Amino acid sequence: MNEKKPTVVWFSAITCNGNTHSLLSSNSSKFELFLKNFDFIYHGSLTIDKSLEDIIKNQEQIDFLLVEGAISSNQKFFTTSNDSTKNILEKLVQKSKYLIAVGSCASFGGIHAKFTQNDDVCGLKDAIEEENKKKLKHPIINLSGCPVHPEWIFQTLFSLKNFKEISLDDEGRPKELYGTLAHHGCTRNEYFEWKIEGNFGQKEGCLFYNQGCRAPMTHSSCNKILWNDINSKTRAGMPCIGCTEVDFPRNNMLETKKNMGIPLEVPLGISKRAYLSISGVAKTFKIDRLHKKLME
Amino acid sequence: MKTVDLVERIEGEAKLICSWKNNKVSDARIDFLNFRGFEYILEEKSPLDALIYTPRICGICGQAHLKATVEALENIYENINEKIEISNKAKLLRQIGLNIEIIDSHIKWFYLFIMPDIIKLNSSDLGIYAPLKGKRWLEACKTASETIKALAIIGGQWPHTSYMNVGGVMSDPTRMDLINMQNYLQIAIDFFEDSVSGVSLEDYLSFDSLNDLEKLDKDMKYFKDLCFKYHLNVYGKSHNRFISLAESNLFRSGKIKQKIVNKIDLSKIAESNEYTFSLNEKENISKKHTWSKLVTYNDNFFETGPLARAIISNRRFIKELHKSFDDSVFTRVMARVDEMAFLINDTKSLISQIDLLENSFIKPKISLNDIEKASGLSVVEACRGSLYHKIDIENGKIKAYDVITPTVWNLGPSNKKEKGIAQKAIIGSPNIEIAKIVLRSFDVCSVCTTH
């Protein structure tokens, strides 16, 4: 291992630190593997060797700049290290090869962009000057999610380290992680197929019909790469709230908007008419097994 | 002389402004200069959406905010005389989730935020405690990530699940799930015994005198010895007044100002913006210097958090330490680590009390969206102390949302009458390293303070 390890810098902008705690809650073997393969030189909450000022003043390049949180030029509401998040970000970007947005706030502005009195809160893509974007070796990578799944960070970093590039979707997210829907791998899929509605607090039934579950419309691998190695929201009984998408957070997230008993939005890629036909047919099957409790 | 220091490696960042006289801090001010406006963001939202928003006030105590929101929303039903039923099972699953989050936070805080600074006082060689490299640092991280799995079983994930809902919880664990949760908590117990205290959990829980300090081994012993060497049992004293707003299996509510009073009247809590920046630029006169508000009970500042809980809930070992060392850095940190032991033990017992045949969720008869005008409030004991939420709804939408976090009690600015809790504690520090440790002993969360 004589080869110089690539450097990683984590900058926390306008955030709740949820992505940091997601990282710390990762699989510990993977976390240690990450620390062995990368030189994690700065994180405002974790490291003690250098300050953010040291990183900015240092001549050395940053290989991977990870940013948690939304960006704003407004110093009235948000000052960190005596500067605006936008100014610090611009300085860091000029030294970096790859720029990775960790979480939905850094990707798209997220919850913090809903604070309308601070009117320029946004994600990285909208915050950075075009000329600085050009200095990067790769388009900005958006690892959206509120928070980001720690495994998505590791897989992205290791991919870039080994292959230098990664294939992105229209929202700048890695296709391999966001190409499928949160619905993929949900243990309630059979209830979805046969249109059997679920309720809160039950193991049985699908949460799409009444509880606002966005899993059939949300690009993420939450049910393929499980959270904390063991679970997902929909498996546990909480509807997907679509936190990896540009429009998160939406209104009335815990209920399904309907018109005459039919969900207003249907699974991605299906016309509403086709969805209604197939639902009608599916409902005619009365599958006793699925109408019973899984265990008494 | 005046100095201004940025304090990193808290949750977020703070600016510490110290005045010095005779090589001691003669005055201190703490500025929080980052404001995200959650209370404003919540206006006009559907009441249930608050369950998604408020956990995102903070990445480390989101479950406390979730529980505060769900209980404030349920309090709205009580206030309009609409009966709402919450099963004991749901209540237990909420408390268990919150407890696990506090355990996770206490482990991380001691090893990631406290130990590196304490050890640096002695030598620059951090050894096993070195961030990202040291054996114990990595073990602590691993233990926290294993422990939090117990919460992911009922929440689906951590951080940022909203598995609690008005009427109960969304999940419905099986018996195997409960066994699994006990097993993950066992990992925390093993770590506590092998590395934190060096004694069995059972022995530790029986500690009740100053002499028991001598029985400590491992990291608590190392911490204790360094504290005595660098006088952290003397530095960091504040008003010696404590408050704890919420009750649980483990915690009593009450306040102490000379003697314990177990009756809390929430209407005596007052928030002030006098020194806090305003959204309206014209109001930002020179005395305003931070985004943190200040909060008092009956016109007095009170410290909240594990030390307050230990004393008010009558946990004897910490009470004995407090008798000798008051509200010093040493006592404050010990109270937090001590609480970890009690919480792990208590949470295992709560899990065993769950009756799986009960409902997890009982749907309220009317929707919050149909309520014309009502208010609700709640208090919860979070990692860092008492958390208060108050919601006003009008025409089925949130009209106003007020959050008072534990860190506002501890880290808010002074008022005309007296110094704020952390400010008073910092005064008297002999150098900036100690001053920062005193500040850190409150488990500073900048994101919660300003929210």
Asked if residues B360 and B171 have their Cβ atoms less than 8 Å apart, the reply is yes
Dihedral angle, C-alpha B309, B310, B313, B319, nearest 10 °: -140
- Over residues B255-272, the pLDDT tens digits come to 999 888 989 999 999 999
- pLDDT of chain B, 451 residues: tens digit per residue: 999 999 988 888 999 999 999 999 999 999 999 999 999 999 999 999 999 999 999 999 999 999 999 999 999 999 999 999 999 999 999 999 999 999 999 999 999 999 999 999 998 889 999 999 999 999 999 999 999 999 999 999 999 999 999 999 999 999 999 999 999 999 999 999 999 999 999 999 999 999 999 999 999 999 999 999 999 999 999 999 999 999 999 999 999 998 889 899 999 999 999 999 999 989 998 999 999 999 999 999 999 999 999 999 999 999 999 999 999 999 999 999 999 999 999 999 999 999 999 999 999 999 999 999 999 999 999 999 999 999 999 999 999 999 999 999 999 999 999 999 999 999 999 999 999 999 999 999 999 999 9
The encoded tokens of residue B298 equal: 């009956």
Instruction: Calculate the CA B278 to chain-centre distance.
Output: 26
- Give the Cα separation of B323 and B319 in Å (integer): 6
Burial classification of residue A97, based on how many CB atoms lie within 10 Å of its CB (0-12 exposed, 13-18 middle, 19 or more buried)? middle
Asked if residues A92 and A127 have their Cβ atoms less than 8 Å apart, the reply is no
Q: So what's the pLDDT on residue B11?
A: 87
- Give the Cα separation of A114 and B416 in Å (integer): 35
Q: So what's the pLDDT on residue B119?
A: 95
Q: What does pTM read for this prediction?
A: 0.98
Q: So what's the pLDDT on residue B413?
A: 97
Asked if residues B226 and B121 have their Cβ atoms less than 8 Å apart, the reply is yes
Distances, alpha carbon B174 to alpha carbons A202, B353, B396, in Å: 11, 14, 36
Q: How many CB atoms lie within 10 A of CB A59?
A: 5
Q: So what's the pLDDT on residue B443?
A: 96
Asked if residues A26 and A225 have their Cβ atoms less than 8 Å apart, the reply is no
Is pLDDT above 90 for A47?
yes
ipTM confidence score: 0.97
- Give the Cα separation of B297 and B301 in Å (integer): 7
Dihedral angle, C-alpha B339, B340, B343, B344, nearest 10 °: -150
Q: CB of A44 within 8 Å of any CB in chain B?
A: yes
Alpha helix stretches (DSSP H) within chain A: 18-24, 28-37, 52-57, 85-93, 104-108, 124-127, 130-135, 150-163, 175-178, 189-193, 233-236, 272-284, 288-291
- By C-alpha distance, which of A20, A35, A50, A39 is closest to B137? A35
Is pLDDT above 70 for A1?
no
Q: CB of A25 within 8 Å of any CB in chain B?
A: yes
Binding residues of B for Ni(2+): 58, 61, 445
| Mutation target among A12, A19, A24 for the B interface, most CBs of B within 10 A | A24
Helix (H) / strand (E) element for A100: namely strand A96-102
What are the chain B neighbours of A9 within 8 Å (beta carbons)?
none
The full set of domains in chain A, from first to last, is: 7-176 (3.40.50.700), 180-296 (4.10.480.10)
- Please spell the DSSP secondary structure of B14-41, one letter per residue: EEEEEEEETTEEEEEEEE--B---HHHH
CA angle A156, A162, A168 (to 5 degrees): 40
Torsion sign across C-alpha atoms B224, B227, B233, B236: negative
- Please spell the DSSP secondary structure of B226-273, one letter per residue: HHHHTTTTTTT-----EEE----SS---EEEESEEE----GGGEEEE-
Residue A161, SS3 per DSSP: helix
- By C-alpha distance, which of B446, B2, B37, B423 is closest to B237? B423
- Over residues B304-327, the pLDDT tens digits come to 999 999 999 999 999 999 999 999
Q: Which of residues 208-267 of A touch B (CB under 8 A)?
A: 222, 227-238, 241, 243, 249, 251-255
Return the DSSP state at A6.
Answer: P
Residue B430: φ, ψ to 5°: -85, -15
CB contact under 8 A, B144 and A47: no
| Mutation target among A200, A226, A229, A235 for the B interface, most CBs of B within 10 A | A200
Q: CB of A30 within 8 Å of any CB in chain B?
A: no
Classify the phi-psi angles of B160: left when phi > 0, otherwise alpha if psi is within -120 to 50, otherwise beta: left
Instruction: Calculate the CA B165 to chain-centre distance.
Output: 22
Binding residues of B for Fe cation: 61, 448
Could you say which of A28, A52, A80 has the minimum Cβ distance to residue B34?
A80
| Mutation target among B117, B141, B445 for the A interface, most CBs of A within 10 A | B141
Mean pLDDT of the region A247-251: 98
